[in-house]
């Protein structure tokens, strides 16, 4: 039982390049989330998926797209990377989206855009 896994762990991109961050969970959770964490700050929600087949924007969605491939997998795509997207990206999941449910986080992907 691996929980939430993310690939890659580290990535360096040049401005304008594209990449996809992968996330998978094995807890049979319905809801999945993508957050970014900038230095010295808390996490901010980029996109979320309340259930398979649905996605919705969070607080900072510009420059990103997501795909809920199936119940387990939720990917985040940067179509044309910008230096402002240098951050640590966390994927998380929870059973549903109710207030009392814990979100479990992956280990994070450190992205540097030059």
Q: Which member of 88, 89, 111, 114 binds another protein (CB under 8 A)?
A: 88
Of the candidates 7, 58, 51, the one whose C-alpha atom is nearest the C-alpha of residue 28 is 51
Q: How far is the CB of 16 from another protein (least distance, A)?
A: 27
Q: Which member of 5, 7, 11, 101 binds another protein (CB under 8 A)?
A: 101
Q: How far is the CB of 12 from another protein (least distance, A)?
A: 17
**Cα dist from 74 to 15, 55, 71, whole Å:** 24, 10, 8
**Cα dist from 31 to 15, 45, 92, whole Å:** 31, 13, 8
Quick one: CA dihedral 3, 27, 104, 64, positive or negative? positive
Considering only residues 23 to 82 of the shown chain, the ones binding another protein according to CB under 8 A are: 31, 33, 35, 40-45, 48, 50, 56-59
Q: Binding residues for another protein, per CB under 8 A?
A: 31, 33, 35, 40-45, 48, 50, 56-59, 88, 90, 92, 94, 96-105, 107-108, 110
């Amino acid at each position: 039982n691996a929980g939430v896994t993310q690939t890659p762990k580290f990535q360096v991109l040049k401005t304008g390049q594209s990449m996809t961050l992968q996330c998978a969970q094995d807890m049979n959770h319905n809801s999945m989330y993508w957050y970014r964490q900038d230095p010295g700050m808390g996490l901010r929600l980029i996109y979320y998926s309340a259930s398979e087949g649905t996605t919705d924007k969070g607080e900072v969605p510009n420059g990103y797209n997501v795909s809920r491939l199936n119940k387990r997998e939720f990917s985040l795509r940067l179509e044309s990377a910008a230096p402002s997207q240098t951050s640590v990206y966390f994927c998380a999941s929870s059973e549903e989206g109710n207030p009392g449910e814990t979100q479990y986080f992956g280990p994070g992907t450190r992205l540097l855009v030059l």
